[in-house]
Amino acid sequence: MRRTVKTLDDLIAEGVSGRRVLVRADLNVPLDGSRITDDGRVRASLPTITALTGAGARVVVAAHLGRPKGEPDPAFSLAPVAARLGELLGADVALAGDVVGESAKATVAALTDGSVALLENIRFDARETSKDEAERSALADDLAALVGADGAFVSDGFGVVHRKQASVYDVATKLPHYAGGLVLAEVEVLRRLTEDTARPYVVVLGGAKVSDKLGVIANLLAKVDRLLIGGGMAYTFLRAQGHEVGKSLLQEDQLEQVAGFLAEAEKRGVELVLPVDVLAATGFAEDADYETVPVDAIPADRMGLDIGPRTCELFVSKLADAKTVFWNGPMGVFEFPRFARGTNAVASALVESDAFSVVGGGDSAAAVRLLGLPEDGFSHISTGGGASLEFLEGKELPGVAVLES
């Protein structure tokens, strides 16, 4: 974060008692019906919210959940989040029935010093994600009006700072703006991965699609010492090397790009490490039968759902001497216990390592919690997978850049 950015501490020092403060948080949690299956992002929002309530602010939280189509959808209501946030705060959190309408106005008006209200899913308003700057600006005006003339804006949702959206970017042009502790911490950690990084620097990438990580791979090949590739994306790399991958996830349209990465890694002296064996399953199911096979012998009627035991050993050995590690993306279908061993092996190696280790949000962070690994075993667990990747690609993050103005 640049020194010109005002922080949450600056805002509190200026005085917030009795003032309404709009906080953009990232509360986009996974749900099973109405049950939150991983409340990590809710817990990550607590320090900023409690700092403000402790100083007497009237806190108005804006957040999104899922991908509603710009209109109210009960399936994406923030009601479960409001309930969980209230439990963690030990105080009721009022949930507005709309984003900036009459319910939101009444809910915010009823706030008292040190209390918290949550606006309904910000993406229920189509203007939030509009490409039309005037439409986003109009929603930002409505948000600013909710907190009034002496209001302020705190950006604390790192998971959305790579989006130029009304509650992330435009509202910061309408109100005095400050960086929350979560955004500050995230940016400082990611800068450590791009500036004066302790070596060996190892990056572990997994997840389903290589197309999601083209930019970050291209940028990292100029920075890292070693790149470990697992998950569904590994099969496109294996196919580019000439291996048959059966029914495994394959992006044929990315083969040329991936072949280029393999050549570039060799040219730069970057050790690009791919699986040597996989768990080849009969289908995509929790109880699917599987066999462990070398990557050059994947049966035509099977699909790889996890890295194999030899690959686990290989990856762990390649992490052993690392001084800095960034990990984004599971090694297999970790939601299915029999296909979680690869992800568990990598994560456990990082817990045991003395390296500066960063878990790049998203499914990787969810896997840490699902597998029951100690979160304090990692140097940092990011709350924003997409934002982390775009930062490491070298892209400007609009929601951070606007705070520097």
213 belongs to an annotated ligand binding site: yes
Active site residue 399: no
58 belongs to an annotated ligand binding site: no
The identity of residue 329, as a single letter, is G
Collapsing DSSP states into helix, strand and coil, what is residue 178? strand
65 belongs to an annotated ligand binding site: yes
The catalytically annotated residue of 24, 41, 136, 341 is: 41
335 belongs to an annotated ligand binding site: yes
Collapsing DSSP states into helix, strand and coil, what is residue 328? strand
362 belongs to an annotated ligand binding site: yes
- What is the per-residue DSSP string for 288-318? --EEEEETT---TT-EEEEE-HHHHHHHHHH
> Please, are residues 112 and 155 in contact by the beta-carbon 8 Å criterion?
no
54 belongs to an annotated ligand binding site: no
Contacts of 3 (CB under 8 A, 6+ apart): none
The catalytically annotated residue of 180, 362, 384, 385 is: 362
Active site residue 385: no
123 belongs to an annotated ligand binding site: yes
Place of tokens 């949550």: 118
- Give residue 224's region: left, alpha or beta (phi > 0; psi -120 to 50): beta
364 belongs to an annotated ligand binding site: yes
Collapsing DSSP states into helix, strand and coil, what is residue 21? strand
Alpha helices in 205-248 (DSSP H): 214-220, 234-240
64 belongs to an annotated ligand binding site: yes
Place of tokens 């690994």: 373
How would you classify the pairing of strands 303-307 and 277-281? antiparallel
Q: How far apart are the first and last CA of the chain?
A: 12
What does the angle CA 334 – CA 281 – CA 37 come to, to the nearest 5 degrees? 25
Residues forming a β-bridge with 328: 205
33 belongs to an annotated ligand binding site: no
The catalytically annotated residue of 6, 105, 192, 209 is: 209
SS3 content of the chain, % helix, strand, coil (to 5): 45, 15, 40
170 belongs to an annotated ligand binding site: no
27 belongs to an annotated ligand binding site: yes
Contacts of 90 (CB under 8 A, 6+ apart): none
Q: Give the separation between CA 382 and CA 128, rounded to whole angstroms.
A: 24
Angle between helices 79-89 and 40-54 (to 10 degrees): 60
Alpha helices in 110-221 (DSSP H): 133-147, 181-194, 214-220
> Please, are residues 397 and 162 in contact by the beta-carbon 8 Å criterion?
yes
Active site residue 209: yes
Active site residue 105: no
Residues making up the chain, counted from first to last: 405
363 belongs to an annotated ligand binding site: yes
Per the annotation, binding residues for ATP are 213, 304, 335, 361-364
Per the annotation, binding residues are 26-28, 41, 64-67, 123, 163, 213, 304, 335, 361-364
Per the annotation, binding residues for substrate are 26-28, 41, 64-67, 123, 163
Per the annotation, binding residues for (2R)-3-phosphoglycerate are 41, 123, 163
Task: List the catalytic residues.
Answer: 41, 209, 362, 386
